[in-house]
Structure 1
């Protein structure tokens, strides 16, 4: 029962025999000794109480499905809809609630619809893949300087360190930015960018002490982790064109070295290092200037980060597992067959496309929610959307992979092992889309356990079959790479299983 804001005058006010509310308040003159009594208007429809209760949160509801999602999130079931309100199910009730809420209030003009991205924003996201590839043309010159064994150790070690470092720093910075603390976000990026070369140099020195390799290996690891943090800062502040401009000379001199030969070897390595240093300094300057430009006062950074520690630990663990998943299978072959060593190139080149489709998933789900009328139709549509986006993220690396395999075949460098390893990395394109969606829902625990299960399946079954290079069992390479492909498909299934309970929940796309 709810109390209406209007007041009835007189003792006889209430409802007519049909249960309808009376019209305008009836008034009778108070006689001598009589008092005028004011009674509240009583609602005879319990649905009125529900409508008024949800109005503050659902005044901007886009449709009845939006209302149904909110009611279900509030604990209302189909049985409750029947017993308490007399409607067949929650959706039938939400249709009436949406009607009674009245016309939707216009949104403020300064609120931007997230799904309305321009082609420039899409191109910015897609460009991330080529940005990751730009320094790769310097690796042949570095290989000739440090040697194959040191190069492999450095790539794996720096890849893991940089992946974890950049992932934690970017997540913390985005969290601070989302909380309206741009100065804190800038400070996080500044500290991370300035400390990562020190961490890289220390890690490289430790690796050299354990395995050998010399000063060149330390310099290579330092430059690699510095570039990963540099690209993180540039992406955060949307300065990708500047990063591409600074790194272009390194890319061009690396290509020239591949074409013209060893005479350009020192130039290729030196120009690549110089470009990384220049990009690093530019990233620091940008972060400092943007942090100083934030004029608002903010709480201390340590206090702001304290609630985020569990999430940052999850992000760090996810980054570590991702790096190990990607590198553990390829590492034993980086010293051998070229077609296996470069099998990940198509995936790295198209990671921007995968990131773009992951960013577009939520706006597309919200648009689907506005189009359909029944929860069952939404669930069916969201799974169809996931299947379509996964297919796109498989096709994106498959196209350059097919071109790369054709070129290797033409040069007589293609083997069955290389084909299988390339197929495994193409399959990782779909797996990373699913991983982005799970990470967006903070399912880092599921992500880590799923990737660990895939790694254990690959290495463990390989050990049983006598083909596990990481454990010193150098069996048939085709068996090992086929097991890796199977573990990636297992990973996809585990990710889908993790999304199953939450993907069709309409309340997550409000």
Structure 2
């Protein structure tokens, strides 16, 4: 036998008795049995360490691994159990085996990133950055609508329709992405088309509930139906990367709304009429975008959606809680404190920037896995990246916020409540970056709990101090908005605490 160690290729000569048939053949079968002739046969014997074989087999999948946990996840996905680790490789469990595999992988050479087309990269970045202004387009006609209706029940209608639309469109988009990721383009289009068609009746039902509870006329029902129709249409066009068409449908309404603000009440009917036409146009364009996708024989998407029911429920609750966080603080001031209400405008305008930073985060972390080989260095780099992006989101949100406050100061309408509410929405610019990251890990339960905790802090502290406008008249605006600012700072901390256990684990970026 060879004296070589594990993994060495050796060859030994083994004498094997091979009986050769006598030339006389079968005539000896009846009783004569000649002694068999022996000859030596050389058989190659390969002695290979099974652990080296495992490392070689897993190397293509683990060339970007930065710690043993990432290796363990890959081994478990490959079917390796603790029993296999003990019986076949001599380790106590999969984690002990993964540490040795990671050690034997050795240093890896970073991949060269594929060349990206600069034009395409710029277009994609611009497309995402425009999401914020697109979200804000309908607000240009709100002053004309408020002047026409002028009812306190309008506050409840807008709040209810906004929350319902956020939840409804977000859930539909999540379901659409799951179907599209499972290669079901036709099922995706059918789902989005049906969700778009159902949006106006859902909005009308919400408006009817407001009229029944708080009074008002049929115009409130039309308003909530139109609001949900636009939100769902915008979601579909963003889903199919047709933001330009969405902007084109609403641009006339934006111009008419600005004309009303500048030229006066004579433009009020025109602004409202053009806004209605814009909603109809966006609705029609969105339905057209869902047509002609996929093949007729494509399997249905029902089983896929049933497999993601928990995620769908999580997205719906997250949308509802997000809307509640924003609307519960501003709804009481909708008809009385204009500077407090529009404090959310800077956040809405830059939301596309926040979304863009969150989208590129995963790619940047995957690049870190190719360039960093020590787990502690990887964790530090990930948190430096989060800190940098958070500061960037805060700084970008602060620019339009400062411009808004300067305009209020120049027109003599700046109040302490407006300043504090604007500061709160600047903080939310950083908080929503962490929220997008948590959503990428599908931690919707944690998101909902954190949002509800922030609402409870604001409302509960306001109730204890007697300054909550939800429980009485809004006569202490600075105190209430200061509490809201404190609650969103706490929300940012809760989101970061939720990210801490997962964001720097390399196995999530395989």
After TM superposition, the score normalised by the length of structure 2 is: 0.87
Deviation >4 Å, runs of 4+: 17-20, 22-31, 37-40, 72-77, 80-85, 88-93, 102-107, 112-117
**Residues of 1 paired with 2:474 and 2:353: CA distance?**
36
Separation of aligned partners in 2, 1:59 and 1:317: 40
Instruction: Within 5 Å, give how 1:186-335 maps onto structure 2.
Output: 186-287=189-290, 289=291, 292-295=292-295, 297-335=297-335
- For the Cα contact (< 8 Å) 2:129–2:350, is it kept in 1? yes
Which stretch shifts more, 465-474 or 65-74? 65-74
State the distance in 2 between where 1:105 and 1:493 align. 35
Separation in 2 of the partners of 1:301 and 1:83?
43
* 1:97 to 2:105 alignment: yes
Contact 1:63 1:98 in 2 (8 A): no
Alpha-carbon distance in structure 2 between the residues aligned to 1:116 and 1:97: 38
Distance 2:6 2:195 in 1: 69
1:183 touches 1:294 (CA, 8 Å); kept in 2?
yes
Mapping for residues 483-494 of structure 1, pairs under 5 Å: 483-494=483-494
Corresponding residue number in structure 2 for 1:50: 54
Whether the aligned pair in 2 keeps the contact of 1:196 and 1:229 (CA below 8 Å) is yes
Q: SS in structure 2 opposite 1:42?
A: coil
Alignment of 1:453-492 (within 5 A): 453-472=453-472, 474=474, 476-492=476-492
SS at match of 2:502: helix
- Cα deviation, residue 91, structure 1: 6.5
The answer on 1:410 being equivalent to 2:410 is: yes
* Contiguous gaps of at least 5 residues in structure 2: 19-36
1:16–1:22 contact (8 Å) kept in structure 2: no
Deviation at 1:140, TM superposition (A): 1.1
* d(CA) in 2 for partners of 1:378, 1:49: 28
Shift of 1:73: 6.0
CA contact (8 A) 1:253 1:271 kept: yes
Contact 2:7 2:47 in 1 (8 A): no
Deviations 1:451-480 (A, max 9, x none): 111111110111011111112264522111
TM-aligned CA deviation for residue 117 of structure 1: 6.9
1:49 positional shift: 3.9
Identify the residue that residue 163 of structure 1 maps to in structure 2. Answer: 166
TM-score when scaled to structure 1? 0.87
- Pairs within 5 Å for 1:138-149: 138-149=141-152
Shift of residue 20, structure 1, vs aligned partner: 6.9
Q: 1:318-357 residue pairs with structure 2 within 5 A?
A: 318-357=318-357
Report SS of the residue matched to 2:180.
helix
Asked whether the 8 Å contact 1:91–1:374 carries over to 2, the reply is no
Alignment of 1:36-185 (within 5 A): 36=41, 38=43, 40-43=45-48, 45=49, 47-52=51-56, 54-55=57-58, 58-63=59-64, 65=66, 69-71=70-72, 74=75, 94-98=102-106, 118-185=121-188
Q: Which runs of 5+ in 1 are unaligned?
A: 1-13
Q: What's the CA shift string for 1:321-347, capped at 9, x where partnerless?
A: 000001101111111122111110000
Q: Partners of 1:117 and 1:374 in 2: how far apart? A: 34
| 2:454/2:487 contact within 8 Å kept | yes
**Is the Cα–Cα contact under 8 Å of residues 67 and 97 in structure 1 kept in the other structure?**
no
**CA shift for structure 1 position 83:** 7.0
How many Å separate the matches in 1 of 2:198 and 2:474? 39
Q: 1:354 to 1:34 in 2, by over 3 A?
A: same
Cα deviation for residue 114 of structure 1 reads: 13
Check whether the contact 1:67–1:94 (CA below 8 A) recurs between aligned residues.
yes
Q: How many residues align?
A: 483
1:296 CA drift (Å): 6.2
> For residues 458 and 160 of structure 1, what CA distance do their matches in structure 2 show?
19
Rounded to whole Å, the distance in 2 between the matches of 1:103 and 1:503 is 24
Report how far residue 18 of structure 1 moved: 6.1
How many Å separate the matches in 1 of 2:110 and 2:135?
45
Secondary structure in structure 1 of the residue aligned to 2:445: helix
Partner secondary structure for residue 502 of structure 1: coil
Aligned to 1:498: 498
Kept in 1: contact 2:179–2:301 (CA 8 A): no
Preserved CA contact (<8 Å) 1:420 1:485:
yes
Distance 1:352 1:175, change over 3 A: same
Q: Which has the larger radius of gyration?
A: 2
State how far apart, in whole Å, the 1-side matches of 2:249 and 2:175 are. 26
CA distance in 1, matches of 2:66, 2:217: 64
Greater Cα shift, 208-217 or 456-465:
208-217
Counterparts in 2 of 1:138 and 1:271: CA distance versus 1, 3 Å: same
Q: What secondary structure sits across from 1:423 in the alignment?
A: helix
Counterparts of 2:359 and 2:143, CA distance in 1? 34
